[in-house]
Each structure stands twice: as structure tokens, then as C-alpha cells.
Amino acid sequence: MYKELLGIPKEHVFVRTDMKWDIGKKIDIDTFWFDEKDATDHIVARYIVKVTKFVYPPKKSLISFNKYTPDSLSLLASGELQH
């Protein structure tokens, strides 16, 4: 799902490397870490995707992302994903 939303090429592999759940009374936040690998299995970018779920009506969710260089030192892009 996130691979398509982020516009990652089909020939690249999108691998989840870690995840964390923060459960609150009004908001749940799921955080996922991903590596984007090219056809030669080299990491070309790293991502952090956060899914914020609102427990009470209107029970919506927001998805945001940060894209980093392979060494995770520089932010390349960030924003909200439309789902």
C-alpha cells in the first residue's frame, strides 16, 4: 500500500525494517520504517511512515512520511499521503 502511495518504482523493493505502536486514549500512532532497494539490492532511500488514527468520530486517519538518504542523515522529502 505505502509503496504505491509513495510512488516507488515497481522494480524496487520496499522492505519494512521496524515498527512501533503508540496507543493513546484519543489517538493511536503507528510508525513504520522502510528501506527502498533498487534492482541490485542497494538501499536508495529510507522512509519513516506515520499513521495517525483518531479513535473518536469522525474516526479518520492521516498518513505522513519522511524520506531520507540511504545513510539516514539528510531529509529528501516529507509530506502527507492521500489514501
pLDDT per residue as tens digits for the range 9-68? 999 999 999 999 998 888 999 999 999 999 999 999 999 999 999 988 878 899 999 999
Question: How far is it, in rounded angstroms, from Cα 5 to Cα 50?
Answer: 13
Region 65-76: what's the mean pLDDT?
97
* Predicted model pTM: 0.89
Residue 43 corresponds to which cell in the numbers above?
538501499
Residue 76 in this model has a pLDDT that exceeds 90: yes
**Domain extent at residue 66:** 1-81
Q: How many domains does the chain have?
A: 1
17: helix, strand or coil = strand
